Structure 1
Amino acid sequence: MTRALLIVTMEPPPGLAEEFDDWYDTEHFPQRARLPGFESASRWVCLDGWPRWIAVYDMTSAAAVTTPEYKAVSGANSTPWSKRVLARTIGRQRHVAVAVGDQPSLQAQGPAVSRLLAAEWACPQGEVASFARALRRTAGDLPGAVQVRVFAVDKGETALVWLFVTFDAPVVRADLGPVARVEGRGARTFNLYAPYFRTSGY
Structure 2
Amino acid sequence: MQATGLIAVWLHVPPHREEEFHAWYELEHIPQVVGLEGFVSGRRYYCDQVFPKFLALYETRDESVEESPGFQHVVTHPTPWSGRIWTFFGKDRIRQNLVRLASVSHGRHPDPGAVLLRAFRAPRDLTAADGLEQGRASADMPGCTRYRLFRQVRDPGHYLEIFDFATPTHAAGPAPAAFFEQPARRRFDDGAGDVVRHVYAATGTPLVKDETVRGAGSPG
Which TM-score tier does this pair reach, normalised by the shorter chain? 0.7 to 0.9
Alignment map for 1:33-72 (pairs within 5 Å): 33-46=34-47, 48-72=49-73
How much does 1:51 deviate? 2.5
Alignment map for 1:100-111 (pairs within 5 Å): 100-101=101-102, 109=111
SS in 1 for 2:141: coil
Alignment map for 1:1-202 (pairs within 5 Å): 3-46=4-47, 48-74=49-75, 76-89=76-89, 91-101=92-102, 109=111, 113-124=112-123, 126-129=125-128, 131-156=130-155, 158-169=156-167, 170-171=169-170, 172=172, 174-177=174-177, 178-179=179-180, 182-184=188-190, 185=192, 188-197=195-204, 200=218
State how far apart, in whole Å, the 1-side matches of 2:14 and 2:31 are.
23
State how far apart, in whole Å, the 1-side matches of 2:152 and 2:68 are.
19
Letter in 1 for 2:56: A
- The range that moved more, 118-127 or 161-170, is 118-127
Q: 1:5 to 1:166 in 2, by over 3 A?
A: same
Contact residue 101 and residue 128 of structure 2 kept, 8 A: yes
> Identity over aligned residues, as a percent?
24
Q: 1:72 to 1:108 in 2, by over 3 A?
A: farther
**What's the RMSD between the two structures over aligned residues?**
2.9
How much does 1:30 deviate? 1.0
Letter in 1 for 2:25: Y
TM-score normalised by structure 2 residue count: 0.75
Q: 1:97 to 1:40 in 2, by over 3 A?
A: same
State how far apart, in whole Å, the 1-side matches of 2:204 and 2:88 are.
23
How much does 1:186 deviate? 5.8
How much does 1:81 deviate? 2.3
Structure 2: gaps of 5 or more residues: 206-216
State how far apart, in whole Å, the 2-side matches of 1:84 and 1:51 are.
19
How much does 1:8 deviate? 0.5
Counterpart in the other structure of 2:214: none
How much does 1:154 deviate? 3.2
Q: 1:122 to 1:129 in 2, by over 3 A?
A: farther
Q: 1:81 to 1:108 in 2, by over 3 A?
A: farther
